[in-house]
Structure 1
Amino acid sequence: MKINRLRKIHELLEEKKSISINDLCDIFEVSKNTIRRDIAELEKNGIIKKVYGGIVLREQETKPVQPEAEVSTAQTDSHKLHKQKIAQMAANLVEDDDVIYIDSGTTTMHMMPYLEDKHNITIVTASIHVINIAADSAKFNIIATGGTIYAPTKAFVGPSVINCLKDYNISKIFLASTGISIEKGATTASPLEYDIKRYLVDNPAKKILMVDSTKLDSASLITFCNLSEIDCIVVDKDLPPKYMDYFSENKTDVIVSEA
């Protein structure tokens, strides 16, 4: 299956740092044309870089760039403000005694300050950012999933994450996405995080998707759910009519922050 192949290629590169096209053909028992299409998709999404005879992880070739590093300070501050407003509105959905999952992401991590007034909240997370912020407060019960740290998103990945999640009765799940569209649903650029997000979407808990308007009408590498599978979406601006019609038809709540 293509999604499994893309994810496995990513995992192999995490382990081996580089791999040849011939080796990939042997491992997956597919043609070079099939592998080349997979490579083209991974390259398009900035995950790998082609080298002579094979591929390497892009982060191995280039110095990591901080998000929004090339954006002006005013633009960066404005973007951060929008994310904080989304996070504040999402945090309003949390009730005392909730067991919540907070996904990795630059929007979800901003929820933490707005949860300080809640009582007996348990936070389950694979996000290193969330863990670090929560560790400075005695207000929260924190459960870190453990696993292998995936550097680009500063989050734990791997089977141990899902094994951990199976142990807890989560009441609300706060999800992040690198791009959404009606046609492609909610997407992620990380094959290593796909299984975790898919498992969370299949969980009976209430699912809240947090995205800023720059993510609309875009799709990254892998779709982890259809938008109809989301119970609530929190955004920073009024959505275009096609989205409002879609969410109305699918009984999805829409919350617009006051940014």
Structure 2
Amino acid sequence: MKIDRINNIKELLQETNTISIDRLCDKFGVSKNTIRRDINELEKQDIVKKVYGGIMLKQNTGEPEPFASREVKNSEQKKIVAKLAAGFVKDNDVIFIDSGTTTMHLIPYLANVRNLTILTTSLYIINAAANYAQFNIICTGGTFYYPSKAFIGSSVLKCLNNYNISKIFLASAGVSLENGVTNTSPLECETKKFMMEKTAPKILLIDSSKLDVSSLMTYAQLKDFNDVVIDNRPPQKYLNYFKSNNVKLYYPDEDKY
């Protein structure tokens, strides 16, 4: 499938930084015209630029990192986190999934949940969930924010305020004991802060590369979450913090700390 091939190209670029058209044709067994169409799509996503005979990964210029670039970083770890977090979802739940590149991996692991309603600000979540006829999908609308492929603004908050949500799944660009749970976009932080005021259980999904990282704005403290799901056992200082603040921690081969 085209989308799988494009995602694989992104992963290759993360490893090699540059790659030739000939190598891509050989790897995927498709024509140069097909690969060129894939490259055009990657250019539109602003994560590659063309060089003679191939493509290279675009360098960060200080602007918010494009969603398409972020989504392939630590993708296997993010899938581990999403699979664990999916265990929180039960039949008849009404859940909110935010626009993070970890939370987006939840959708395939929810396929067997019955009568599930998904609220989201994320265009990616909408598109992914639309492949499953059994899901009830509620889109918030709002102003489209391209770097995160998400909807933002006051109309988003008005929409979310109308629903009784049973579980809230949030992501973060970085977490630390000093600065809490952070995000790169003030516009998205508004939505995240709003969701943190809801009474429903708040579940944070992070991969271990986010530990001891502080991004632009803090939208919550770690102790404000009911549960934290991560791909690996975190350092002892985090274990101590979660235990003292009654936050349940989940990671592979460990039901909870």
Report how many aligned residue pairs link the two structures: 196
2:122 aligned with 1:120, yes or no?
A: no
Match of 1:229 among 197, 213, 224: 224
Report whether the alignment pairs 1:133 with 2:135. Answer: no
Q: What is the identity, as a one-letter code, of the residue corresponding to 2:206?
A: V
Give the gaps of 5 or more residues in structure 1: 1-46, 50-57, 70-75
* Cα distance, 1:68–1:227 mapped onto 2, change above 3 Å: closer
Query: Does the alignment pair 1:247 with 2:242?
Result: yes
Post-superposition offset of 1:80: 1.3
Q: Does the CA-based 8 Å contact 2:115-2:135 persist in structure 1?
A: yes
Matched, 1:103 2:87: no
Q: Give the superposition deviation at 1:64.
A: 5.5
Q: 2-side partners of 1:66 and 1:102: how far apart?
A: 18
CA displacement, residues 193-244 of structure 1 (integer Å, 9 cap, x when unaligned): 1111001011100000000000000100000001110100000010111000
Residue in structure 2 matched with residue 214 of structure 1 by the alignment: 209
State percent identity of aligned pairs. Answer: 47
Q: What is the letter of the counterpart of residue 83 of structure 2? A: Q
Aligned position for 2:69: 67
Q: Which residue of 2 aligns with 1:192?
A: 187
TM-aligned CA distance change 1:183 to 1:123, over 3 Å? same
Alpha carbon RMSD of aligned pairs, Å? 2.3
TM superposition shift of 1:48: 9.1
**Post-superposition CA distance 1:83-111 (Å, at most 9, x none):** 11100100011011110000101110100
Q: Contact 2:67–2:101 (CA<8 Å) still a contact in 1?
A: no
Counterpart CA distance in 2 for 1:86 and 1:136 is 21
Is the contact between residue 67 and residue 147 of structure 2 (CA under 8 Å) also seen in structure 1?
A: no
Q: Which residue number corresponds to residue 138 of structure 2?
A: 143
2:227 alignment partner AA: C
Q: Select which of 198, 216, 239 maps to 1:203.
A: 198
Structure 2: how far apart are the matches of 1:221 and 1:64?
16
* Structure 1 Cα separation of the partners of residues 182 and 120 of structure 2: 19
Distance in 1, matches of 2:229 and 2:250, equals 5
Change (3 A) 1:115 1:246: same
SS at match of 2:204: strand
Secondary structure class of the residue paired with 1:110: helix
1:68 Cα offset (Å): 5.7
CA offsets, 1:42-85, max 9 Å, x none? xxxxx997xxxxxxxx47xxx9584269xxxxxx68x2111111
Distance (whole Å) between structure 2 residues aligned to residue 182 and residue 67 of structure 1: 27
Relative to the length of structure 1, the TM-score reads 0.71
| Distance in 1 (alpha carbons) for counterparts of 2:101 and 2:182 | 15
Q: After TM superposition, which residue ranges in structure 1, 4 or more long, deviate above 2 angstroms?
A: 63-66
- Once residues 69 and 152 of structure 2 are traced to their aligned partners in structure 1, the CA distance between those partners, rounded to angstroms, is 21
> Equivalents in 2 of 1:96, 1:120: separation in Å?
6
Structure 1: how far apart are the matches of 2:157 and 2:224? 19
Q: Is the 8 A contact 2:118 2:136 kept in 1?
A: yes
Contact 1:234-1:257 within 8 A present in 2 as well: no
Question: Partners in 2 of 1:180 and 1:107 — Cα distance?
Answer: 14
- Are residues 1:156 and 2:151 paired? yes
Distance change in 2, residues 1:196/1:65 (3 Å): closer
Q: TM-score, normalised by structure 2?
A: 0.72
Distance in structure 2 (CA, Å) of the matches to 1:95 and 1:136:
20
> What is the distance in 2 between the residues matched to 1:176 and 1:162?
18
